[in-house]
Chains A and B, each alone.
Chain A
């Protein structure tokens, strides 16, 4: 890979030519330098995959490790009764405000549209999930700590039987 000093040296040479584009490729990387209409340059680097596959430590089992995240991607079973609470974005689903704290809601908990029922952590940012409907929690489809996709159904709210 080239660092900014290498690139500066190449650009000094290119500036003395009428070239608009310069591409350099080795077995490890590829770089494209392009001149803009204003005469300034852009760069696109591509670090290529090495010939040797990534070494994996003995005893580890990547497929098992993926199991948890794959489980979250499975299509949700046939729609159950009740109104759905969806994940607004991808991330890790948590039922409690912090480790060790009691869950926001349990099965049967009464909720209003503005009741916080869970959080989804995405890139270290916590997003509160609200019930969105009034009623009781009729179904909790995701386990604490599982990965969820955007729009995935997290819980269902059933209307009070009155």
Chain B
């Protein structure tokens, strides 16, 4: 089939990103927008804009019936969910199928399999991937038995969680019972699934992931990304390829990601996340993200592949071209997430009206954004304003290019985190490369002190 009219069921920079590729491919676009987004940049860019509902996400971007109803009324033949919101909710592809609309993403069965973190662990183990020692804990006795095997500290994780949500660290046996009870109650409230599992806590870990692309049968990878610069499990800076991995580890990660993708009969773009234990020289499977990632541009810059175009092609039934050919990785790319937050006030969110938005331009610089002078940043959604992406022949040159680019980024009217990014990219530990997920916390403490 050929996609003629694409419904974009998202907002912000990823909506702009999807519209850009659709326009390039000559596909007509319809954007579903909440009330506050009806005059946003993506609403202005789309060929048509359809109201989804009130500004609160639960009544618009998270409402399956509203989204699919709007797509159907607009006569769309395909729907792109972006990331976040409903992108990994299996109810969306199921509703699309009933409405006769092609879902640009994995099958509902795949979303079921990777959304349940215990099922994902089983699939990963079945495909031969190393998983963090641990297992499901339905009782305090089970949890104690697992902890005896893994040693302390441990992490209690919600089966329905993911993306850094639903985690609880326990340092000693005396705290296990109370923490387990809290974790079960929280999991039930947050994810409507009270199941939890216990894993060994891996300190000093690096977050490394592999981009995969599948057509339901064949699966290929597009190299690694490092996303270790995080605050409270939220990524701030990403790069491709992951620097300074132990010898041979990158190719093992990529082969493992492809093996898991094949086991899942993965269709579309996805990411297999790993925790790299630098101290032990080991790595473990973390989770699968069955959607386009925020940080996909760094992979696009080093491979010259348009991942959204690949998603649309696979959804339209096109088989992966020459699946065994490896994508060449060229140079190094870094992405900084510019967020509406006040770093000096404990990262307090900073919604409001942007009065000026000046971004850097030049060779090897790409800006993915949905903001311009006059844009209103509503308090209802996430704080991502723009992604500054740079590409250069090697990592050192990319870090320098980012440092220069950040200095030319001026966003006025609300608080943004540009200065923090400048500080990170000039930090000697970051410049050496291969920082762990504790890096940003240590840096922030040093700045505060």
Contacts and interface: CB of A to CB of B under 8 A. Distances in A.
Nearest to B372: A46
A98 B39 contact: no
A10 B231 CA distance: 37
Interface in A89-128: 89-92, 98-101, 122-125, 127
B383 A55 contact: no
A47 to B, nearest CB: 5
A57 interface: yes
Interface residues on A, range: 35 or more
Contacts, number: 125
Contact of A99 (B41, B189, B349, B380): B189
Contact of A44 (B43, B69, B372, B379): B372
Interface stretch (B167-175, B244-252, B356-364): B356-364
A43 B54 CA distance: 33
Interface in A55-106: 55-58, 60, 62, 65-66, 68-69, 89-92, 98-101
Contacts of A41: 360-362, 408
Contact of B50 (A11, A57, A100): A57
B379 A43 contact: no
Contact of B360 (A42, A45, A46, A101): A42
A145 B38 CA distance: 22
B372 A45 contact: yes
Contacts of A42: 358-361, 408, 410
A33 B359 CA distance: 10
A40 B362 contact: yes
29 contacts: A3-B20, A4-B365, A7-B361, A8-B363, A33-B361, A36-B408, A40-B404, A41-B362, A41-B408, A42-B359, A43-B358, A43-B360, A45-B372, A47-B372, A54-B33, A54-B39, A54-B50, A57-B50, A57-B69, A62-B38, A90-B351, A90-B379, A91-B349, A99-B189, A122-B349, A122-B379, A123-B379, A123-B380, A125-B347
